[in-house]
Amino acid sequence: MANQKHIRSATFVITCLGLLAQAASAGVLPEDRADLLYFRYDGGGVQISGPSMLVRKSIGDHVSVAANYYIDMVSSASVDVETSASPYEDERTQSSLSVDFLHGSSTYTIGYVNSDESDYKAKTMYASVSHDMFGDLTTISFGFKNGKNDVFRNVKIDDIKQNDPNFQQEMESKSYSVGVSQIVTKNLVLSGQYEVITDEGWLNSPYRSVRFFIGTDQQGQQPEVYPNTRSSNAASIRGKYFLPWRAALDGMYRFYTDTWGVVGHTGELGYVHPLDKKFIGGDWIFEARLRYYTQTAADFYQDIFPRADFSNFMARDKELATYTAMTGGLNATYEFKIERFPWLTKGQINLRYDYMAVDYDDFRDARFSLGSFGTLPDEPLAPGTEPLYKLRANIYQFYISAFF
């Protein structure tokens, strides 16, 4: 389901982006390394887990190549599934290849990502360039990404799950970004980014439905209907300040808006504190992070519509509702050296835990009034009076890195 794909994409970004998608800074190639990661997301009736492996190797002094293979396995009995579809299990595999070229003070990056699951296939190509100026105090960057996706719908034919032969849609996404990073003082670094995203094609779930009133105390369902285009704009600013006691504070603010009427604000604070061997017998880096997000609902979103076919576009995806989300995380990294392997410059063991709490302002838990749409609750509530939905999720990450 599209909503589950959103969760899975968000989880992948939260748990893996810093490890698996590290971009080269202008004028410097990334370190040679190999990473093995396992993560798990558990919340809102959805469980996602899987391993990922990354290998990055330099070829000479000017080229660095990275390859990644990633698997996630999902089982879902979320509120969306219980009210619109049936619980399901699925598996997604993703492979990617990227190359960084260093030329003088500039770094050029090109990459390709292929993602495959039973009802969604995605192919993405991206390219970027970054350049150092003014004695390496300023870095500017430009990026482009183009994704082409095929959307299917799974059905059971002769009790075998397969793609519906009468349903296949396409979706294309393009994004353009520009960024600048500035070393302001020896302790302060500021950066900003602006991004434009355009989506076109099938943009909603082939499974999800909206609900509507029938009379005053009954409800019906019909498929969602979305516009086939969406344009988004996002601007962010981030600052990092290095403290005198070998620690650092960082903060970020991001503003998002799109043509569907969604307006989002994101704020993040982080603290990083290293400890060397004389304190706890090893080289450790500890990190604490707090992230806050809030958004308004899309123009065509409603929890329950007044009647069937109420408007040209109708959505009940909770990701298009009004909600706030808080995510708090702790991270511990242990760095070590293995003397018997002198060709390894260092190794790392990383443990991370995030807790996410999402509270919805206008998305209600329709499981309390399902009636003919599912199991009848012991004390069913009238449609539109159910409690507002709350999502709580635990996210775990563990990975091992070897630098060579």
Tens of pLDDT, residue by residue over 231-276, are 999 999 999 999 998 899 999 999 999 999 999 999 999 999 998 7
Amino acid letter for position 11: T
Write down the residue that tokens 């993560």 correspond to: 39
CB 403 within 8 Å of CB 344: yes
Whether residue 236 is contained in a domain is answered as yes
Whether residue 33 is contained in a domain is answered as no
Whether residue 142 is contained in a domain is answered as yes
Q: Tens of pLDDT along 53-62?
A: 999 999 999 9
CB 283 within 8 Å of CB 336: yes
- Total number of domains in the chain: 1
Whether residue 1 is contained in a domain is answered as no
Whether residue 242 is contained in a domain is answered as yes
pTM: 0.89
Structural domain range at position 167: 102-403
Q: Tens of pLDDT along 321-348?
A: 999 999 999 999 998 887 777 888 889 9
Q: How confident is the model at residue 26 (pLDDT cuts 50, 70, 90)?
A: low
Measure the CA angle with vertex 80, ends 225 and 292; round to 5°.
Answer: 95
The yes-or-no verdict on residue 168 having pLDDT over 80 is yes
Q: What percent of the chain has pLDDT over 90?
A: 72
Whether residue 48 is contained in a domain is answered as no
CB 111 within 8 Å of CB 96: yes
Whether residue 347 is contained in a domain is answered as yes
Q: How confident is the model at residue 379 (pLDDT cuts 50, 70, 90)?
A: confident
Q: What percent of the chain has pLDDT over 70?
A: 89
User: What pLDDT, on the 0 to 100 scale, is given for residue 372?
Assistant: 47
The yes-or-no verdict on residue 3 having pLDDT over 50 is no
- Give the mean pLDDT of 390-394: 97
User: What pLDDT, on the 0 to 100 scale, is given for residue 83?
Assistant: 77
- Give the mean pLDDT of 349-354: 96
The yes-or-no verdict on residue 125 having pLDDT over 50 is yes
Q: Tens of pLDDT along 282-327?
A: 689 999 999 999 999 999 999 999 999 999 999 999 999 999 999 9
CB 129 within 8 Å of CB 105: no
Whether residue 190 is contained in a domain is answered as yes
User: What pLDDT, on the 0 to 100 scale, is given for residue 321?
Assistant: 97
